Amino acid sequence: MSWKDYIKEDMFPLFTCAGCTHGTVTNAFARVADELKLDKDKTVIVCAIGCAGRIPTFLDFPVLRVTHGRALAFATGIKLSHPEMKVVALMGDGDALAIGGNHFIHAARRNIDITAIVSRNEIYGMTGGQYAPTTPPGARATTAPYGMLEPAFDTCKMAAGAGATYVARTDAYHVQHLQRTLKTALQHKGFGVVEVLTSCPTQFGRRNKVADPAKMLERIKALTVTQAQAERMTPEELEGKFVIGEFVNTSRPELTEIYARAFAGMGV
Amino acid sequence: MSSQLIQGNEACAWGALKAGVKFCAGYPITPSTDVVELLAQELPKAGGRFIQMEDEIASMGAVLGASVMGEKAMTVTSGPGFDLMQENIAFGAMAQLPCVVVNVQRSGPSTGGATLPAQGDLIQAKYGTSGDSPRIVLYPNSVEEIYRMTIQAFNYAEQYMTPVILLMDEIIGHMRENVDLEGVGDVEIVSRRRTDVPPAEYRPYAADETGIPILMPFGSGYRYVVQGMHHDVNGMPNTGAANVDATIRQINGKIDRHKERIWLWEEKETEDADILLVAVGCVSRSALEAVRQARRQGLKVGLFRPITVWPFPEEPLARALAHARAVLVPEMNWGQLIHKVKEVKPDAVKAVGLNKYDGTLIMPEEILKVIEEVRA
Ligand SMILES: Cc1ncc(C[n+]2csc(CCOP(=O)(O)OP(=O)(O)O)c2C)c(N)n1
Ligand code: SF4
């Protein structure tokens, strides 16, 4: 088997724009699935609405593509009713953190064994460039014609604060790091969050003078620093930067295991 | 066999367990909460799982997540919670995932009155979601019937691959009646169909002659996409006109085609009725008492009670109206059921509504009074 066996290439072409790095995340996921030899019939992919939410329908797994923001709610039903399944939710940042924010924090609190991969392109791509809760202050969006007036979410801090037991950030420029991070996350037991910085040249780039796909990647490269680099930087230098790496990798009782223990000996 | 005093809400939970429910996700809301409380207690013993989700949107999502795994799944709510569930109910209808949604109605709109009975969600149960999608809605009128109709709701959901709504009244949900659950007899339990076609040849959304797809549980070796976007026979996105047309025909047509098997209703003294009452749920019990009293006075009054509210039992009602001069529709809302009755009744038959929306039950005397007015 090769990583391509995890993708339904016969269903191509993809609908995505040239230079969209949501696809890089899906691609990395397929490669890691191959490395880990994920059982296609023991894994469920859950995704929802948005460009990030549509690409996973091309993965050769059972795929449940649900209503905008609700991937983790559906995933909870899958995992709790069938704890033997590996459940992976692939989401956009608006999907996971705006409309889906409530489900996100409660999945983290429950520490249910689901891997949540959030593709942070800092904009609403599919609907044409409105601001997301991740849009950097000052950046232009169709609904922020004078620049983004709100602060952006720190996804990793929120995930850690809510109780996720694996939290990491990576990006679509450092592809090796992306794959390594996804691999660790997929082997983690409990609620894991991987935020991936991605680029939307069409909707974010065009409005923010980085319409060129290569420039968008260079922007990601310039915005990201490793944890080691971050330690040597002042708070001012870190302003607007994204630290990549692992922030939480711990264990505490996982929800379906708690259920299993609580009800051991009960039922059929 | 012993009968015992059982609350309507309890009967719902026991019915679900009898039907084989294995998953329930819910969010507390009066007057429905007793159902999830009992399921939280009993489901683990039946090898199932209950979870209290963060809201009703999540509850409905989790239920459909369990359904895609092949499990019989349900949620329970009331007015404001039912509002929140609508988007995912539409998802279930579009993706053709079976599940049962119980709505123990309370007085609305909005928070309204948590413990006040009302019948305000009849139209919403069918038309609350965007787009055209089918809905099977059942409406029992006694504790025993709640038990049987909860089972029936699961059977229809599994058979027709769609969410089924069980509408209940606060009054009956919280009422106790003597019921012998075991004595209810051998109720048939239906589970969704399966196939053994090789995975390579499997087309989940290509319905056979029944018009109903066979969706194999995720994890059973059949890999496909389940989604709410217009999709082709493999579940892949497809918004081509012919495909969209076929999808809408399939999800609505499968209920239309089988409506005669889905219709459930009860008739009392309709054979010669020149005044026909049409009522559902708790109001139908007052209506039945009104029929008895009217008959004692020699009046030809009958009762037609839809149990299946959607698809509406049009032809059976049309037959029951054969001798009617007038049809009287008492309901605890501003006027909902009467719209459907007006669609069915011949022009010559006068339709009269009796609407009450003060959070109290319509009493037999109130119905008798309107019968008098109609006769005059
Ligand atoms: C309930 C609901 N509200 C709004 C929309 C419209 N909508 C579709 S995608 C989207 C935003 C997607 O943004 P994001 O999750 O960041 O994904 P991207 O397209 O950027 O990959 C919105 C608002 C919808 N489909 N459903
Ligand atoms: S609009 Fe943006 S997110 Fe959507 S496919 Fe194009 S580049 Fe990707």
The pLDDT assigned to A159 comes to 98
Report DSSP letters for B288-309, one per residue.
HHHHHHHHHTT--EEEEEESEE
Q: Return the pLDDT at B1.
A: 54
Write out pLDDT tens, residues B249-282: 999 999 999 999 999 999 999 999 999 999 999 9
pTM assigned to the model: 0.98
- Do residues B21 and B35 lie in contact, with contact meaning Cβ atoms separated by under 8 Å? no
Lowest average pLDDT, out of B183-187, B229-233, B267-271, B353-357, goes to: B183-187
* Cα Dmax for chain B: 70
Is the omega angle on the peptide bond into residue B237 within 30 degrees of 0, that is, cis? no
| A163 Cβ inside 6 Å of ligand 1 | no
Long-range contacts (CB closer than 8 Å, 24 or more residues apart) made by B220-223: B220/A41, B220/B70, B221/A41, B222/A62, B223/A40, B223/A41, B223/A60, B223/A61, B223/A62, B223/A63, B223/B199
> A52-77, pLDDT tens digit by residue?
999 999 999 999 999 999 999 999 99
DSSP secondary structure string for all residues of A87-141: EEEEEEHHIIIIITHHHHHHHHHHT-SEEEEEEE-SSBTTTTSB--TTPPTT--B
Alpha carbon distance B22, B120 (integer Å): 30
10 Å CB burial of residue B230 (0-12, 13-18, 19+) is middle
A82: nearest Cα among A108, A50, A60, A114: A114
pLDDT in the model for residue B376: 87
Please compute the mean of the pLDDT values over residues A213-241 and round it to a whole number. 97
Please indicate whether, in this complex, the C-beta atoms of B55 and A102 are within 8 angstroms of each other: yes
Q: Which residues, other chains included, contact B365 with Cβ-Cβ below 8 Å and sequence gap of 6+? A: none
Residue A267, pLDDT > 80, answer no
Q: Is the pLDDT of residue B196 over 60?
A: yes
Q: What is the pLDDT of residue B60?
A: 98
- Return d(Cα B227, Cα B91) in angstroms, integer: 8
- How do residues B9-28 score in pLDDT, each as one tens digit? 999 999 999 999 999 999 99
pLDDT for position A268: 62
| Residues A122-149 pLDDT 10s | 999 999 999 999 999 999 999 999 999 9
The predicted structure's pLDDT at residue B207: 83
Residue (of A48, A72, A52, A55) closest to A197 by Cα position = A52
Nearest residue on chain B to A42, judged by CA atoms?
A: B219
With beta carbons under 8 A apart, name residues in chain B contacting A74.
61-62, 64-65, 68
In tens, the pLDDT along A3-19 reads 999 999 988 888 999 99
Band (pLDDT 50/70/90 cuts) for residue A199 is very high
Beta strands, E only, A156-263: 166-171, 192-197, 224-226, 242-249
- Residues 229..288 of B with a Cβ closer than 8 Å to A: which? 229, 235-237
Facing B218 at nearest CB: one of A60, A62, A66 = A62
- pLDDT of B283 above 60: yes
- For residue B90, the model assigns a pLDDT of 98
Ligand 2 site, residue A21, Cβ cutoff 6 A: no
CA B176, B177, B183 angle in degrees (round to 5)?
Answer: 135
Residue B41 reports pLDDT greater than 70? yes
Report chain A residues touching chain B, CB-CB < 8 A.
11, 40-42, 44, 46, 54, 57, 60-67, 70, 73-82, 85, 102-103, 106, 259, 262-263, 266-268
Note the pLDDT tens digit of each residue in B297-334.
999 999 999 999 999 999 999 999 999 999 999 999 99
Q: How far is the centre of ligand 1, averaged over its atoms, from the C-alpha of B265 (Å)?
A: 43
* pLDDT at residue number A126: 97
Chain B: closest CA distance from residue A70 (Å) = 7
Give the Cα separation of B208 and A84 in Å (integer): 32
- Given a cut of 90, whether residue B232 has pLDDT beyond it is yes
Our measurement of the distance from residue B309's CA atom to the centroid of its chain's CA atoms, rounded to an integer in Å, reads: 7
ipTM over 0.90: yes
pLDDT value at B186 more than 80: no
Over pLDDT 90: what percentage of chain B? 97
Residue type, B254: K
My answer on whether omega of the bond before B109 falls inside 30° of 0, hence cis, is: yes
How would DSSP label each residue in B6-30? EEHHHHHHHHHHHHT--EEEE---T
pLDDT, mean over chain B: 97
Mutate to test the pocket of ligand 2, among A124, A131, A198, A202 (most ligand atoms within 8 A of CB): A202
- Residue A216 Cβ < 6 Å to ligand 2: no
Mean pLDDT for chain A overall = 97
For residue B350 the two structure tokens come to 């006068």
From the CB of residue B109, how many other CB atoms can be counted at a distance below 10 Å? Answer: 10
Rounded Cα distance between B320 and B349, Å, is 12
A62 vs B222: CB contact, 8 Å cut-off? yes
The residue of A46, A49, A57 whose CB has the most chain B CBs within 10 angstroms, and thus the best one to mutate to test that interface, is A57
Contact partners, residue B220, CB within 8 Å, separation at least 6: A41, B70
